[in-house]
Structure 1
């Protein structure tokens, strides 16, 4: 069965989530108090409604508690974001993901029932910074405050060597969970596999360990 999502706030962040979920064939209810934004998504989402999400009665009327996952993507209005999250939590929504504006906002959201908190601007900034450091760092995803997963191209320092030779786990405390070779992906690769220059390693570990790994093996001098 298709999952049912509700996206509250149809700005750049909420709008992009709404489009992506709809493209994947998910059932999506698009919500915003701005009529113009709602009209923009009438032909994109499964349903689109004009609604003030700080109004508990209105949320009950549309059956918001029946949705498996509600994304609160309200822009600059932190008060509205917090109040909406409180209402969703009290109504028993199964999963609530909220966009945080800053660390203080995140602390409050953690205390009032948000299941997942995202910082799109901050996280994108970190990803771009990693990409700028080296052409060999292809992608970077934060898993928690202290752990991440990074996608790196096997450059000059890794070319022709095996995972045994590099001993990434012992030397840097990171784990190579997969290797991409062209269009194929090798999950749990053999330790004696010889790396080629265009191979892409997917590495997981603590941020401090990934930083050492990048500086010593990924970034070419």
Structure 2
């Protein structure tokens, strides 16, 4: 059974979510105050409507409380984002994900009952920062405020050595959860696996431990 989604706010963030959900064959209700934006998504979303999401009556008429997951992607209008979230919570929407502009906004969203708060600009900034530190850092994803997962190419200091030789868990407090080589992914690497220059390690750990791991093993001198 396909889930039904609603995306409120059709800027770059909300618009990209709409497009990806559509590609995955999901039912998507797209909502924005701006007529031009709504028109852009008429042929992408299942339904695209011009509406004020802070108006409880309007959202009720759209049947929003029957939607499985509502994403509030309102851009720079923090007040509208907060008011919309309050209305969704009061209507009993099952899952509410909201884009936060800053940490203060995120704290308010948490307190009023948003189920998930995302920081796309902040998270993208962190990913880019890690990727420009070294060509060996492929990707970086925050799991929580203190833990992350990183994809790294095997650096010169790692090639020809096994995981146990490098003693990654004991020395750096990180865990190698998988090793990618082309399209093949080894999801249960053994301590004796020898690393090659084609290997990409998927490593999870506390941010401070990952930073130390990157500095000492990943970034080539």
TM-score band by shorter chain is over 0.9
User: What RMSD over aligned residues (CA atoms) do the two structures have, in Å?
Assistant: 0.7
1:42 aligns with 2:39: no
Query: Which residue of 2 is the match for residue 74 of structure 1?
Result: 74
Matched-pair contact (CA < 8 Å) for 1:178–1:203: yes
Partner SS, residue 105 of structure 1: helix
Post-superposition offset of 1:32: 0.4
Structure 2 regions of 5+ residues with no counterpart? none
**How far apart are the structure 1 equivalents of 2:154 and 2:3?**
38
> TM-score by structure 1 length?
0.99
Kindly provide the CA deviation profile for residues 172-213 of structure 1, in whole angstroms up to 9, marking residues without a partner as x.
Answer: 001111000111101021111111111000000000000000
Distance (whole Å) between structure 2 residues aligned to residue 208 and residue 141 of structure 1: 14
The CA deviation at 1:56 is 0.2
Matched residue, 2:135? 135
In the alignment, what sits opposite 2:181? 181
Query: What corresponds to 2:144 in structure 1?
Result: 144
Distance (whole Å) between structure 1 residues aligned to residue 145 and residue 176 of structure 2: 20
- Contact 1:153/1:197, CA 8 A, preserved across alignment: yes
Alpha-carbon distance in 1 for matches of 2:115, 2:175? 27
The answer to whether 1:57 aligns with 2:57 is yes
Please say if 1:167 is aligned against 2:134: no
CA positional deviation for 1:158: 0.6
1:19 CA displacement: 0.5
Q: TM-score, normalised by structure 2?
A: 0.99
* Contact 1:178/1:185, CA 8 A, preserved across alignment: yes
Instruction: Provide, for residues 91-149 of structure 1, a one-character-per-residue CA deviation record: whole Å limited to 9, x for no partner.
Output: 11111110111111011001001111111111111000000000000000001110000
Aligned residues: 221
Residue aligned with 1:58, SS: helix
**Gaps in structure 1 of 5+ consecutive residues:** none
Q: Which residue of 1 aligns with 2:207?
A: 207
Rounded Cα–Cα distance in structure 2 between residues aligned with 1:181 and 1:190: 15
4+ long deviations beyond 2 Å? none
Within a 5 Å distance, the mapping from 1:96-115 to structure 2 comes to: 96-115=96-115
Q: Contact (CA 8 Å) 1:154, 1:196: kept in 2 or not?
A: yes
